[in-house]
Structure 1
């Protein structure tokens, strides 16, 4: 994922409940997002609202209870510099999240959520935008739908 982050110039869009692994594995990610937004990239991040019923339910399903909400709060804290940057926006959502979505320009990673298993134990599917193909657009419509339901962080 590091190379996708590094190469993205126009769009970085992330839809997760917590996505804390991103910051554990890429501690400079908030600075990268700020720099990319300042260079003109559109940055949109959707985090699970730690106070929402869906985050509570998903935490129970994964067997970690309130720890998922705590992980979402930590991620939100890491993203504070991003929320203050023009061209970057962080929103909270309380949707039923069937897939985590990570877009980097014309690449999209989709992490299907298997009931009862943490996201990290599930596969990641990699799709590229191809004119006329529907898969990339299909997942981005899902992202956009959640984005419209989200509230500013």
Structure 2
């Protein structure tokens, strides 16, 4: 079963018959796609365009789990986005909902993470209740690196304010078993979003907000590839980060509009 295709149709309220009409195929053909059959390339393209999602999200490139593609690129690279803002909302939701082991997030403010999904905290608590380990690591709003990054982006103290505003959404996670929120004061070269074996890497370009920078979607292949290198960087930052204690830092109780 293609769970991602099922999920996008359900979230959009789109019937398989509409997909069949858009692709000029029999509805039974769409039923076979939902059942797991991979469509012809031209149909994959038309489905992705119709649903406004990345083709590689619905049908990840079926490469062997060992070896490398020509040119040196790892098979871990599922897809790329011109910028983080172009990643479909359904991609974020589906990856979060499908996580079964761990969710790790490393950002400075990550305001979009909650603003694009006002129920993200509740969803994270639900995933933790199902045994998923949830770790969120934000920039320390009073730290040196957040101040430097703010100056580099030309927004000054606004970044620290954005971090404080973003944190208000996650207060409900603190008492939940399996959920942790920490603050880091390290140079952040990439924002990272891990969902089990899927990793979204958002490189930081000097002077530009993270939302305007490219994003790579990686899927773990082995222990020597890009995926694990980025995961190790998360673990290094996490180990140095301090627990978030909102009552001692004057963080508001409720989320911001």
TM-score (norm 1): 0.97
Structure 1 position 71 matched with structure 2 position 162: yes
| Equivalent residues of 2:133, 2:179 under 8 A apart | yes
TM-score (norm 2): 0.58
Length, aligned pairs only: 153
RMSD of aligned alpha carbons: 0.9
Give the Å deviation of 1:113: 0.3
C-alpha deviations, 1:6-39, integer Å up to 9, x for none? 1112111000000000111011000011111111
Q: How does 1:72-151 map to 2 (within 5 A)?
A: 72-151=163-242
Structure 1: segments with no counterpart, 5+ residues = none
Who wins on radius of gyration, i.e. which is larger?
A: 2
| Equivalent residues of 2:128, 2:134 under 8 A apart | yes
Aligned to 2:27: none
Structure 2: segments with no counterpart, 5+ residues = 1-91, 245-257
Greater strand proportion: 1
- In 2, distance between residues paired with 1:43 and 1:3? 16
Greater than 2 Å deviation, 4+ residue runs: none
**RCO higher in 1 or 2 (8 Å CA, sep ≥ 6)?**
1
